[in-house]
Amino acid sequence: MMKNGPYLALDTSYQKLSVDELLETAGKRLPEHFDDYRQQLCRGEYRNISEDRPVTHVLSRSVHAVAKQSNRKTRFVDTVQKLRSGRWLGSTGKPITDVVNIGVGGSDLGPQMGAFALREFANDAALHNLQVHFVSSMDGGQLYAVLPIVDPETTLFIISSKSFGTVDTFANVDTVRKWIEPDLTQEQWLENHVIGVSANAQGMTDYGIPPAQQFTFGDGVGGRFSLWSALGLSIALTTGVRPFERMLEGAKAMDEHFLDAPLAENLPVLLALYGVYNREQLGINNLAILPYDGRLRMLPNYLQQLDMESNGKQYTADNKAIDYPTGPIIWGGFGPNGQHAFFQHLHQGYDQFTADFVTVLKREAPGFSDATRSGLAEQQRLAVANCLAHRRLMWDGSENTDSPSDHYPGGHPSNLLIMDELTPESFGALIAAYEHKVFTQGVIWGLNSFDQPGVEKGKKIAMDVLRVLDGESDECFDQSTDAIIQRMR
C-alpha cells in the first residue's frame, strides 16, 4: 500500500497487515489524548517531565526561529556568508579555509549527516572552497586524521555542545588548543578561530568565546533533535543558507502532515504503528535502516541515536517500571554495500528482523557531460532495482525443496520510503517523519522520549574509573574492570 506525504511516499505492502487491519489492532494503542499530544509537540508545549522543560525542536523549523534562538537572524546568515565567501580572516590575516565541527551525539550526527547528504546543493560554492570536517570521538581518532590536513592559521573550530560540558568534546578541544601553538596564541585562537554553539551561553562566556561568536538554542531542543537549530551551522556552512532553509521547510511540511493527515494516511503514525506491531505482536526486536543512496549513508547512525536514546527504556514518563518491550535495536547500513556484507544473513540466516528501505528514484547530475549523466542515471536505476529485488526476496522468499542452499525463507516485514529526488526538502521531511514516528511510539509506550538517564549513568561511572586510572582514587569495581585497570597501571 503506497501512501503519499510531503516530499516522501511510504510503501507498506510488505508488512503482515494492511493499513486497515493495522489501525484495527495496533491503532487501538494510540492513547485517547494523542491528538492533544501531537498538537502540544508542534506548538512547543509538550513536556519533558523528568527534565522539567518543554520540548521545542519543532519550533526550530524556520530560519526565523533559528535566528531567534541564535540571538539574531542576521548573525547566523552573516557568519555563514562570511565563512563561505572567504571573508572571515584568521588572526594572521589569512582567510579561513577549513571548519572543524567538534561535538558528539546529537552535536555531531545530525550536522554531519545533513552536511554529507546535502553538500551538492551548495548554491554559492564558487565563492570559496570551504572544507567542513567533523570530529567527535573522545579517543582522538578523528583528530589524527584531520589535524595533519588543516593549518592552525586558516582553520576555525565550532565547539558544538548543548550542555557545553561534554567531556568527549572538550577532550578534543583541549588537544586542539595544544596543537595550535606556536602558530597561534590562545588569545588569537579564541578571538578568530572558534565559534560556540550551545544552549549554555554562560558556559561559552566562561570559556572565553567572544559574544559575537556564540550561537545559542533553546534548552527545550534535545541534542538528538538539534540539527534544525543553530547547531545546524555546519550544515549551512557546507550548503549555504538557502539549502539549509529548504531543509527546514521540508521538515515543516512533514510537521503539518503529522498534525493534520488522517491516521490511515499519516506517514509518521503508520511508521510508528507498524513498528509497535512488529515489536509487540511479531516479537521482532530490531529494525535495519537500509538507504539505497550514498548521500544517506549516515542515516542508520543518526536514527540509532534518535530512536534508541529516546525509546530504549523500561520506565514510564512518570517513572513506573514497565514489563513490555519498547524501542527496537536500530542498526543497518548503506544498502548497496550491505548487499555484499550482511545481506546473506538477512536472506538465509536464522534471525528475525524488520527493515526500512529508503530509495531515491531520480538524481540530476548537473555539471557532468551528457554521457556521464546517462551513466549516472543508469546507476541510479541499478540501485533502485537492487533495492526492490532484495526487499522482495526478504519478504516473499524463494523455495527450493531440493536444495537448502537455494531456499530463502522470507517473511521479513519492511517499509519502503520513497523520494522522487533527494532534495533539501525531502531530506528534511524524511528526518522529521522519523522524529514524529519516535514521538508517537513514545506516547504509545508511555515513555518520556526526551531524557537519557542510562547515558548519564554511564558517564558518571566512566569518571569514577578515570579517577582510579589517574591514581586519584582506589575504588574497586568488579573483577574484570579491576584487572584491566591493574594491567593499565
Q: Which residues are catalytic?
A: 309, 340, 459
Residue 160 C-alpha from the chain's centroid: 15
Tell me the window of 56-64, 74-82, 99-107, 203-211 that interacts with ligand F6P (CB under 6 A).
99-107
Tell me the window of 24-32, 100-108, 240-248, 379-387 that interacts with ligand F6P (CB under 6 A).
100-108
What is the total residue count of the chain?
489
Nearer to ligand F6P, 108 or 293 (CB): 108
Q: Say whether 263 sits in a helix, a strand or coil.
A: helix
Binding test (CB under 6 A) with ligand F6P, winner from 223, 268, 335, 338: 223
Nearer to ligand F6P, 105 or 327 (CB): 105
Positions of E strands within 24-154: 47-48, 53-54, 98-102, 131-135
Nearer to ligand F6P, 223 or 243 (CB): 223
Q: Scan residues 440-469 and list those touching ligand F6P (CB under 6 A).
A: 452, 455
Positions of E strands within 51-126: 53-54, 98-102
CB of 43 to ligand F6P, least distance (A): 23
Is residue 218 a contact residue for ligand F6P (CB under 6 A)?
A: no
Nearer to ligand F6P, 208 or 454 (CB): 454
Nearer to ligand F6P, 385 or 455 (CB): 455
Q: How far apart, in Å, are the Cα atoms of 244 and each of 218, 230, 240, 362?
A: 19, 11, 7, 21
Interface mask toward ligand F6P for 302-341; x: CB under 6 A: -------x--------------------------------
- Whether the CA torsion 269, 1, 276, 384 is positive or negative: it is negative
CB of 224 to ligand F6P, least distance (A): 5
Is residue 438 a contact residue for ligand F6P (CB under 6 A)?
A: no
Binding test (CB under 6 A) with ligand F6P, winner from 18, 123, 137, 163: 163
Q: Scan residues 395-434 and list those touching ligand F6P (CB under 6 A).
A: none
Tell me the window of 85-93, 158-166, 279-287, 332-340 that interacts with ligand F6P (CB under 6 A).
158-166
Q: How many CA atoms lie within 13 A of 384 on its CB side?
A: 16
Nearer to ligand F6P, 278 or 301 (CB): 301
CB of 399 to ligand F6P, least distance (A): 45
Tell me the window of 102-110, 115-123, 233-241, 250-258 that interacts with ligand F6P (CB under 6 A).
102-110
Q: Are strands 155-160 and 131-135 parallel, antiparallel or unpaired?
A: unpaired
Q: Which helix (H) or strand (E) holds 186?
A: helix 186-192
Binding test (CB under 6 A) with ligand F6P, winner from 23, 55, 104, 135: 104
Is residue 169 a contact residue for ligand F6P (CB under 6 A)?
A: yes
* Buried/exposed code over 121-144 (b: 16+ C-beta within 10 A; e: otherwise): bbeeeeebebebbbbbeeeeebbe
Is residue 56 a contact residue for ligand F6P (CB under 6 A)?
A: no
Amino acid in the structure at residue 163: S
CB of 336 to ligand F6P, least distance (A): 29
Nearer to ligand F6P, 224 or 279 (CB): 224
CB of 223 to ligand F6P, least distance (A): 3
CB of 209 to ligand F6P, least distance (A): 15
Binding test (CB under 6 A) with ligand F6P, winner from 15, 91, 107, 213: 107
Which residues lie across from 155 on neighbouring strands?
98
Could you give the CA distance from residue 432 to residue 250 in angstroms, rounded to a whole number?
8
Could you give the CA distance from residue 114 to residue 239 in angstroms, rounded to a whole number?
9
Nearer to ligand F6P, 151 or 219 (CB): 219
Burial label for 82, CB within 10 Å (0-12, 13-18, 19+), is middle
Across the beta sheet with 8-11, the strand order is 2-5, 8-11, 414-421, 354-362, 286-291, 329-332
CB of 184 to ligand F6P, least distance (A): 25
Could you give the CA distance from residue 434 to residue 62 in angstroms, rounded to a whole number?
18
Per the CB < 8 A criterion, the answer to whether 428 and 244 are in contact is no
Size of the residue set binding ligand F6P (CB under 6 A): 15
Could you give the CA distance from residue 228 to residue 65 in angstroms, rounded to a whole number?
9
Binding test (CB under 6 A) with ligand F6P, winner from 6, 90, 106, 413: 106
Nearer to ligand F6P, 30 or 306 (CB): 306
Binding test (CB under 6 A) with ligand F6P, winner from 105, 218, 291, 336: 105
Per the CB < 8 A criterion, the answer to whether 183 and 155 are in contact is no
Identify the DSSP state of 147: G
Per the CB < 8 A criterion, the answer to whether 295 and 116 are in contact is yes
- Residues lying near ligand F6P in the complex (CB under 6 A) are found at 103-107, 161-163, 166, 169, 223-224, 309, 452, 455
